[in-house]
Amino acid sequence: MNKPDDPKASATSRNDATTLGKMLRDGSLQHEAPQALRERIREALAKAESHAQRTPSSVPGPTSAAVPAPACAPSSTVEPARGATPSTSGKPVAPAPVEAAWGSSLTPWLFGGAGGAILGGLAVAMALLAGRAPAPAPVPEPQAAAGLQAQEIVSSHVRALLSQHPLDVISTDQHTVKPWFNGRLDYAPPVVDLANKGFPLAGGRLDYVGGRTVSVLVYRTDKHPIDLYVFPARDKASAAPSISGSDGYAIARWRRNGMTYWAITDAEPSHLRVFVEALQAAT
């Protein structure tokens, strides 16, 4: 016995059907190809059709070749085939020739000039659709890596600002902060005191950047923290500092003495530039 339909399910189905019908009517499901793409497709179709018209088709046109009647053994009891003309001799006569309408009329159209133009145009259109969005130019690997590291630096700095414990070691003494990293890293970050330059040391912490644990030294300028990330450089060649902005933060990056330096702060970029110059002079 069939169970009665669920009223809620039926109502849901009706609502879905109504919504779909509305979307079909107002064109919500339609997507219009860009004007540039449409022009490229039209141009490709026109070229294909013009080429087909200049090239004569090698397939013969419709013919009136007769379809041969099947052979049958003569017999006085066999009835004449349908459409055959009775003969006075009592033997059936083959039916009148019938044109091979499908084979002879469609074949030239499909494989002749017009069909070739259409099929060729469709192939070109599909190729254009498949490649309508050109692939972006590849970004040089060092530049791409620097961009990814910059994003990681910003994220790390923001996490520290939101954290209630932004420092693992709290001290203004470089001789306290520097030994704290011993045994926690496979390298020794340089730690300098810049208090006389207006950038007192506040402490340090560990963070994770570029797939490894790195040191972060925290300095201050007025009430703004400056996070200084220091870790071994893959490219040992020195590079001058470059200062840029990202998401409202000033960021500096450079290489020196086999180390990569990143400095980030929410202070003015001019303050960061002075900090970088003071740090380079001290190291």
Residue 205 near residue 160, CB atoms below 8 Å: yes
> What CATH number is given to the structural domain containing 274?
3.30.200.100
Q: Is residue 185 part of a domain?
A: yes
Q: Is residue 93 part of a domain?
A: no
- pLDDT tens per residue across all 283 residues of the chain: 545 556 666 666 677 677 767 766 766 656 566 777 777 788 888 877 777 676 655 545 554 444 454 554 444 444 454 554 555 555 555 555 544 444 444 445 444 555 555 666 666 566 555 555 444 444 344 555 667 889 999 999 999 999 999 999 999 999 999 999 999 999 999 999 999 999 999 999 999 998 999 999 999 999 899 999 999 998 889 999 999 988 889 999 999 999 999 999 999 999 999 999 999 999 8
The reported pTM is 0.51
Give the Cα separation of 25 and 187 in Å (integer). 67
Strands 201-209 and 259-265, how do they pair?
unpaired
Q: Is residue 76 part of a domain?
A: no
Q: Is residue 20 part of a domain?
A: no
3-state secondary structure of 272: helix
Number of domains comprising the chain: 1
* Full residue range of the structural domain in which residue 169 is found: 150-282
SS3 content of the chain, % helix, strand, coil (to 5): 40, 20, 40
